[in-house]
Chains A and B, each alone.
Chain A
Amino acid sequence: MTPEFNDVFQPVYRPLTHLGLGPLDCWIKRSAHDWSIAIRRDPEQQVRWVRDEAAPERSEELVWQRFPVDKRTARLRIKPCFPARPVVIRPDAPYRILPGDKVQFFMSVPLGLRIMTDEAQPVVLLQEPSMILSNTWFGDHAEGELTFSLRTSARRSVEELDDRRYRITCPVRMKNVSGELFSFERFCLRVSCLNMYRGAARFWANEIGVTYKGPDHISRVAYTDKAPRMGREAELIVRAEQSADHFSLRSFYSGIFNL
């Protein structure tokens, strides 16, 4: 099962709560006057979701952040979240798609934790990705944007996906309607346009459609607004921060496709 995120988090009766999400450990402590939150990463831990009252080892090394308890922070809300910036995903090896072909890929990004106040206009106390992603630059040196970078094996079917419950799987369908080979080398996943769905075995993001029309034409990237076909039963748990509009970007080099 995928991790359950209780909508409202109120560990008043527990001295300490520990959340383990992939390599991320998070401890939440409630005293009479304060909330205290600390995080740590253990790169050895990859596939796990735990929620217990385990005390941290080497607790003296932890750096606690304290928040005063008042009306607004009497209860906290914990939500899963996407990475804070767009993610440029590159397949391990460039993928070439023949003219007229349609190809389905599955890409995934690490899940993060967002701890916030339980109110209509919540204040985010802490947002942490489960794993630290490397930075990369998308676009030219003067006008581009800072994004995260990820390598993907670009799996082709659900059966090939491994058990990584702290990741969000995003199905991407690519269609080459041009008359030449489409070389897929990198893809900028705009996570702010994605919904998050909680399925039985994994978290899903809405499906993305890419239509390649050739190096000299504008390519089309469409973010759908519903759960992917393979996760229809999945429950919507996080809404996209931006509307799932169409993004269109021009390819930068002839013969090399950057979205």
Chain B
Amino acid sequence: MNNFELGAWLMVHMDKVVKAGLLLLIGLPLVRILAGFVRRVIKRHTTAQSGMVTYKVIWYGGLFIITIMVMRELGFKLTTLLGAAGVAGVAIGFAAQTSLSNVISGLFLLGERPFEVGDLLQVGATTGTVTSIDMLSCKLRTHDNKYVRIPNEHLVKNEFTNVTRYPIRRYDISLGVAYKEDVSEVIKLLKSVADKNPYSLDEPEPVILFTGFGESSLNLLVGIWFSKDDFIMLRNSINHEIKEAFDAAGIEIPFPHRTLFVGSNTAPFPVRIVEPGGSE
């Protein structure tokens, strides 16, 4: 169709073109406003995730309907188009296997709901807050404000951890004390530190275990339960308080050290203590 033919076609079908244009101009913003309104209402009454899914269903559904209406208005025969779409679909399917796999995986994720917008997700070495669950991928924002895109297929195929799925979590601290210390007294002290910390839950009770004999220390595990929103406050306060309590009670946290023997029949290494001034 050259310029003259296009102009003639436009002159003949001006009313249809105007109608199609109006449909696009009015329909698209209307669908967007409707989707946004429904999202706000649903988010207020349920979750951000449900709001986002509803928004996308309305937006993509509306987009599809408006496209069909515009094409009909412009005189396209839908039956022919759908037939062509079937043939094209096979070709596109082969060409876009990865994308389709991501779309299908996205549907599984939306159905299974292993996480929602706002959850803290750990995928491999990446940990971040889910900002959106889209057709092809999920987006995370890491703690240091990086944007991470994870294809949906990857999430369906691989293991990931939803850190904030449950309302309470346990913060585990591994620490060691010197061999000279009385372990029962240390456990009692750790329990009292946990009791006094306002972010540490009284129930479930803190778990304090004597886990074994290390190379340089008696090893302990302190597991403190907390409400998931209090993680930063708990971590900042409890480590500080344990150190303060150990210092106050004179409990030593040893650094790695090694005792050397040069054989039972040999004399010990000669050691001379030198005064700071240089005299022995």
Interface, chain A (partner B; CB < 8 A): 88, 132-138, 141-142, 144, 146, 149
Is there an interface contact between B200 and A134, defined as CB atoms closer than 8 Å?
Answer: yes
Q: Which residues of A contact B200 (CB under 8 A)?
A: 134-135
State the CA gap A136–B230 with chains docked (Å).
12
Is there an interface contact between B203 and A149, defined as CB atoms closer than 8 Å?
Answer: yes
Nearest B residue to A136 via CB reads B202
Partner pick for B199 among A135, A137, A141, A144, CB 8 A cutoff: A135
Would you list which residues of chain B between 203 and 232 have a CB under 8 Å from chain A? Answer: 203-204, 225-227, 230
How many B residues touch the partner, as a band? 10 to 19
Q: Chain A CB within 10 Å — which of B166, B198, B203, B227 has the most?
A: B203
Is there an interface contact between B230 and A135, defined as CB atoms closer than 8 Å?
Answer: yes
Q: Which residues of B contact A135 (CB under 8 A)?
A: 198-202, 226-227, 230
State the CA gap A22–B200 with chains docked (Å).
23
State the CA gap A110–B145 with chains docked (Å).
40
Is there an interface contact between B201 and A137, defined as CB atoms closer than 8 Å?
Answer: yes
Is there an interface contact between A142 and B167, defined as CB atoms closer than 8 Å?
Answer: yes
Is there an interface contact between B198 and A134, defined as CB atoms closer than 8 Å?
Answer: yes
Is there an interface contact between B198 and A133, defined as CB atoms closer than 8 Å?
Answer: yes
Q: Is the CB of B195 closer than 8 A to any CB of chain A?
A: yes
State the CA gap A121–B40 with chains docked (Å).
24
Q: Which residues of A contact B230 (CB under 8 A)?
A: 135
Partner pick for A137 among B195, B196, B197, B203, CB 8 A cutoff: B203
State the CA gap A27–B225 with chains docked (Å).
35
Q: Which residues of A contact B166 (CB under 8 A)?
A: 141-142
A-B contact pairs, 8 of them (CB 8 A): A134-B195, A134-B196, A134-B200, A134-B201, A137-B168, A138-B203, A141-B166, A141-B167
Taking A135-B199, A137-B204, A137-B225 as known contacts, 6 extra A-B pairs with beta carbons closer than 8 A to each other, sorted by chain A number, are: A134-B202, A135-B227, A136-B202, A138-B203, A141-B204, A149-B201
Q: Which residues of A contact B196 (CB under 8 A)?
A: 134
Nearest B residue to A144 via CB reads B167
A141-B168, A144-B167 known; A136 vs B203 contact (CB < 8 Å): yes
State the CA gap A9–B198 with chains docked (Å).
32
State the CA gap A149–B167 with chains docked (Å).
17
Contact with A along B181-202 (1 / 0, CB 8 A): 0000000000000011111111
Interface, chain B (partner A; CB < 8 A): 166-168, 195-204, 225-227, 230
State the CA gap A146–B219 with chains docked (Å).
31
Is there an interface contact between B202 and A146, defined as CB atoms closer than 8 Å?
Answer: no
Q: Which residues of A contact B201 (CB under 8 A)?
A: 134-137, 149
State the CA gap A144–B203 with chains docked (Å).
11
Nearest A residue to B225 via CB reads A137
State the CA gap A146–B227 with chains docked (Å).
7
State the CA gap A187–B151 with chains docked (Å).
48
Nearest A residue to B226 via CB reads A135
State the CA gap A134–B203 with chains docked (Å).
10
A247 → chain B closest CB, angstroms: 19
Q: Which residues of B contact A149 (CB under 8 A)?
A: 201-203
State the CA gap A68–B109 with chains docked (Å).
48
Sorted nearest first, the 8 A-B pairs with minimum C-beta distance are A136-B202, A149-B202, A136-B203, A146-B227, A137-B201, A132-B198, A136-B201, A135-B201
State the CA gap A146–B196 with chains docked (Å).
17
Q: Which residues of B contact A138 (CB under 8 A)?
A: 203
Nearest A residue to B165 via CB reads A142
Nearest A residue to B196 via CB reads A134
State the CA gap A137–B168 with chains docked (Å).
8
State the CA gap A141–B166 with chains docked (Å).
7
State the CA gap A149–B199 with chains docked (Å).
11
State the CA gap A141–B168 with chains docked (Å).
7
Q: Which residues of B contact A88 (CB under 8 A)?
A: 202-203
Q: Chain A CB within 10 Å — which of B196, B197, B201, B227 has the most?
A: B201
B223 → chain A closest CB, angstroms: 13
Q: Which residues of A contact B203 (CB under 8 A)?
A: 88, 136-138, 149
State the CA gap A113–B227 with chains docked (Å).
24
Nearest A residue to B203 via CB reads A136
Is there an interface contact between A146 and B198, defined as CB atoms closer than 8 Å?
Answer: no
B145 → chain A closest CB, angstroms: 27
Q: Chain B CB within 10 Å — which of A132, A133, A141 has the most?
A: A141
